[in-house]
Amino acid sequence: MPFSDYQTAFVTGASTGMGAAIAERLAKRGLKVHVAARSEDRLNELADRTGATPHVLDITDASALSSAVDGLEIDVLVNCAGVSRPGNILDSTEEDLDEIVDVNLRSLLQLTRLVLPGMVERDRGHVVNISSIAGLYNFYGHTAYHATKAAVHQISRQLRNDTVGKRIRISEICPGRVETEIFGRNLGGTPEAMEEAWQTYYEGYESLTTDDIVNAIDYAIETPRHVNVGMLELMPTFQVPGGLTFDRRA
């Protein structure tokens, strides 16, 4: 369905990075956009700039999610909120694992559970899930992050089965490295950490930008109503997935 068929959108993780850029594009496309995140200052700034309606909440709080979407007829749901951690399962804490699962997976399921029935009833809607190449390929990274993004990939497929026969489209946007704050937050979120992350992960690399992600979503939504763009994998030209590691032990 083109944008003209839709009226209202809901975007999570909208305080910064991809989420904020997505919300801004949807607003420019003429949708009434609701944005959710924990940062009140950033959400209010986004609201002032775009006219979006801010919902300051913890995405892992199912009751808060239910209150935020109560009474809304959401046509476009963008599940963008996500967190990661440095290291892997060997040095994870209980809190690390819980937060990754709660933000990346449980909140997505709960919000989709709340919104999708209305789409089914109206026979109209589009769910966009932001996953990651970490969900498709095994490489060094946080095991729980890879696991949750693999789950998002499968959920996106399964939602097509759940809504078969209805004019509801499900799109998964599966990016490689994107220039956002995620690595800086992993390093502590301080200005020094942000600078270190930029120099380590972005300086000298041709990474994806938030515009690249936004343009992919724009394309998926704007295709004719009989077309479902199931998954778009976006990679920097100089980044490749996979590879074989064979460690030699003397």
Q: pLDDT value at position 1?
A: 52
> 87: which DSSP letter?
S
Task: Look at residue 249 and tell me if it is in a domain.
Answer: no
Rounded CA separation 226/23 (Å)? 24
Task: Look at residue 220 and tell me if it is in a domain.
Answer: yes
Structure tokens, 186 = 């992993």
Domain that holds residue 157: 3-181+211-234
Task: Look at residue 188 and tell me if it is in a domain.
Answer: no
**Can you give the pTM of this predicted structure?**
0.93
pLDDT digits (tens, 9 = 90+) for 82-126: 999 888 999 999 999 999 999 999 999 999 999 999 999 999 999
Residue 201 falls in the annotated catalytic set:
no
pLDDT at residue 243 greater than cutoff 80 = no
Task: Look at residue 192 and tell me if it is in a domain.
Answer: no
Question: Which of these ranges, 65-79, 145-159, 235-249, has the smallest mean pLDDT?
Answer: 235-249
Task: Look at residue 93 and tell me if it is in a domain.
Answer: yes
CATH value at residue 107: 3.40.50.720
Of 6, 145, 201, 202, the active-site residue reads: 145
Q: pLDDT value at position 47?
A: 96
Handedness of CA 20, 22, 28, 34 (dihedral sign): negative
User: Residues 68, 81: contact at Cβ < 8 Å?
Assistant: no
Task: Look at residue 156 and tell me if it is in a domain.
Answer: yes
Handedness of CA 86, 91, 94, 100 (dihedral sign): positive
Q: What is the mean pLDDT of the chain?
A: 93
Rounded CA separation 70/66 (Å)? 6
Task: Look at residue 194 and tell me if it is in a domain.
Answer: no
- The radius of gyration of the chain's CA atoms, rounded to the nearest angstrom, is 18
Task: Look at residue 103 and tell me if it is in a domain.
Answer: yes
Domain count, the chain: 1
pLDDT at residue 165 greater than cutoff 90 = yes
